[in-house]
Structure 1
Amino acid sequence: MDAVAAFTDTYLPTVNGVTYTVKTWRDTWLARGGRMDVVYPGSDDYGPDDGEFPVRSLPFPFYEGFRLGMPRIPDDVENVDVVHAHTPFALGLSGLRLARREDLPFVTSYHTPTGEYAAYLTSITSVEDRLEGLSERYERWFFDHADTIITPSAVSKRYLLDTVGVDADVTVISNGVDIDRFSPVDAVSFREKYDLSGPLVGYTGRHGFEKCLGDVVDAVAEADIDATLVFGGDGPARESLEQRAENRGVDARFLGFLPREELSAFYSSLDAFLFPSPVETQGLVALEANACGTPVVGVDSGALADTVDDGVTGYHFAAGDVEGFAAALRRTLAERERLRANCLDRREQISVDHAVDELADIYERVR
């Protein structure tokens, strides 16, 4: 199998969708006998394994948990067949430089629409719009250097082609889910540990303002259901979510970051997973929930328009429509058993093994 050098601006110990994808793809690639080196921003909180190469990094002041890696190529990254950049920024530029220097195929993954995060840098609308425009022009320049671009959904592919305006080959490959890890489990002990009972609905992931998680609280309040709302994860929006739940009279529990080994029990304990974020390029947690047999109530915007199969693995609602969100939640709970069976039937289709099969085909095609 090919020797691959992967460059990413986010990796362990930070836990997010990009980190999960890079790590699971790498683990699967290694298990198949291949080599996939990873170059990432170093942190004192994570010691690298063989083939993981941290570079000097600094904390990014506008986005908690993100670090800026210095754009360099470690000397030990050599004799590779393909360069794969999971970011268009600092370390992505290092990957591009390596590909050019060694005349290697250059593959990129489009994980995050960077223009969506301009609000973290300024609250001035005109400046935010300008930053979004600059971001799209930069992305167009970077991605046009790729032999192919991988996106996790058809929506993100259309965004790259129509909004960013890239002039390169774009291929859709789902990030995939480790279905050995994410599968239905008996959640009784999980419920007992966190003192949870009765019907549960919830979300886990980063509590970022861009994810519109306040709509979750409002929808549960409007739905008038006998269920506890459970949040896993943490982030800058947590305090406002706690206050919102108190103001709306919603029984909400905030569990904080959960150990990865508890996530299957978290998903399995839920009657519905609630996901209003319009900024996802795939929404991996929605697929993890489905793999555990939990239907998703997701916004009909961004990648979730594709990730959630309406009426099959969950239901959609229009962005910002809290009443529609509440109605979709009530319908999902009413059809819980049918939707659960559909989710379980699709486990192989959303597996990381299936994703890596397609990734191997991409590497072979660009060589």
Structure 2
Amino acid sequence: MPELPTVAAFTDTYLPTVNGVTYTIRTWRERWERRGGRMDVVYPGSPTYDPDAGEHPTRGFDFPFYDGFRIGLPGIPDATEDVDVVHAHTPFLLGLSGRRLAGRVDAPLVASYHTPTAEYADYLADGRLSDTVERVALAYERWFLDGVDSVVVPSAPAREHLREVGVDAAVRIVPNGVDTEFFGPVDDAAFRDRYGLTGTLVGYTGRHGFEKDLGAILAAVDGLDPDLTVVFGGDGPARETLERRAAEVDADVRFLGFLEREELPAFYSSLSAFLFPSPVETQGLVALEANACGTPVVGVDAGALAETVVEGVTGYRFERGDVEGFRESIRRTLRESVDLRESCLEKRESTSVEHAVDRLAEVYDEVL
């Protein structure tokens, strides 16, 4: 096996923050090192996380308008000066540090497109000012991405979005991948007992962000089935609003709060359908995790979920804003849950992180 290039990954999102970006970077790093390579990570430090070897914290601060997101201050650790490839997972200050390092050591620069920068506009301003912030964010995003050697996106819809907003750089699809060694069907009895859950469950876990349109779940289950229980795992700025709305709908709705990673396979396995109305996903990793556990997904026909959710195979889709369509997709998924479960499990290996890292290695080879 040829020697793998040494990589320095710069990111604003890393442990102890728990989300799809963190898990993707962490899993890619573990698999890269398992193959004999080295992938250092530069990230905003936190007093609640002790870095492992090869993890280099810099100073950072909490983003005041987006709970749980941190901005790293510029920094280039000495240990990263001997890298072959720089991989920026953020366009912000640490991404600029990665760009500076790439220029300093004459290494190619790869950038991952995880979240549209313009999505943060609504957290910074309202109304007409929000439109201005979004235009500035898009212009900055184009400038940053057009200055790299290759852009990595997790799905074809994400690539099409970049083309639509005017990004001219080379764009390669590298799915985030699912850790199929970890995510798979398990006995959910202990999980149900721990949270007092019985009967047929549907639900969602992940960040409770306003941009994810989670209120659509409550509208869809209102009066749908008295024997159905809706469970929300996770936390975020939209949780209080969701809890207030949940008290007004005709449905049994439970909020479990933050779930440890070790609980997630049992959470997914306990569901008959994973409900995912978020229109802003670049891939929707939690949907693939659910599928890997045998759970079909009812997802919005927008963004990456238009590709991630395969109709009649891994779940069903509905049009954004179509409450009755959402309800009918839930009904259909529950009716076909046995067959959908089997087809989800048949696709497990095709979505594994091993395939993702194979593709990542190809991108690094291309830019070198």
Structure 1 length normalisation: TM-score?
0.98
1:212 is aligned to 2:200: no
Alignment of 1:29-48 (within 5 A): 29-48=32-51
Distance 1:129 1:60 in 2: 20
Match of residue 245 from structure 2 = 244
Shift in Å, 1:276: 0.3
Q: State the SS of the aligned residue for 1:182.
A: coil
Q: Over residues 23-72 of structure 1, what are the superposed CA-to-partner deviations in whole Å (9 max), with x where a residue is unaligned?
A: 00001101111000000000001010000000001111101111111111
Match of residue 315 from structure 1 = 316
Match of residue 52 from structure 2 = 49
1:91 is aligned to 2:91: no
Alignment of 1:175-190 (within 5 A): 175-190=176-191
Alignment of 1:278-289 (within 5 A): 278-289=279-290
Match of residue 6 from structure 1 = 9
Write out the 4+ residue segments of structure 1 that deviate beyond 2 Å after TM superposition. 222-226
Q: Is the 8 A contact 2:178 2:289 kept in 1?
A: yes
Match of residue 277 from structure 1 = 278
Distance 1:60 1:111 in 2: 17
Amino acid at match of 2:306: A
Shift in Å, 1:132: 1.0
Match of residue 131 from structure 2 = 129
Match of residue 109 from structure 2 = 106
**Percent sequence identity over matched residues?**
65
Equivalent position to 1:157, from 145, 156, 159: 159
Match of residue 297 from structure 1 = 298
Q: CA-atom RMSD, angstroms?
A: 0.9
Amino acid at match of 1:140: R
Q: Is the 8 A contact 1:6 1:83 kept in 2?
A: yes
Distance 2:343 2:226 in 1: 24
Match of residue 22 from structure 2 = 19
- For structure 2, which runs of at least 5 residues remain unmatched after alignment? none
Count of paired positions: 365
Distance 1:156 1:103 in 2: 29
Distance 1:246 1:361 in 2: 50
Match of residue 224 from structure 1 = 225
Match of residue 62 from structure 1 = 65
- For structure 1, which runs of at least 5 residues remain unmatched after alignment? none
Shift in Å, 1:199: 0.2
Q: State the SS of the aligned residue for 1:247.
A: coil
Q: Is the 8 A contact 1:176 1:355 kept in 2?
A: yes
1:330 is aligned to 2:331: yes
Amino acid at match of 1:237: A
Match of residue 74 from structure 1 = 77
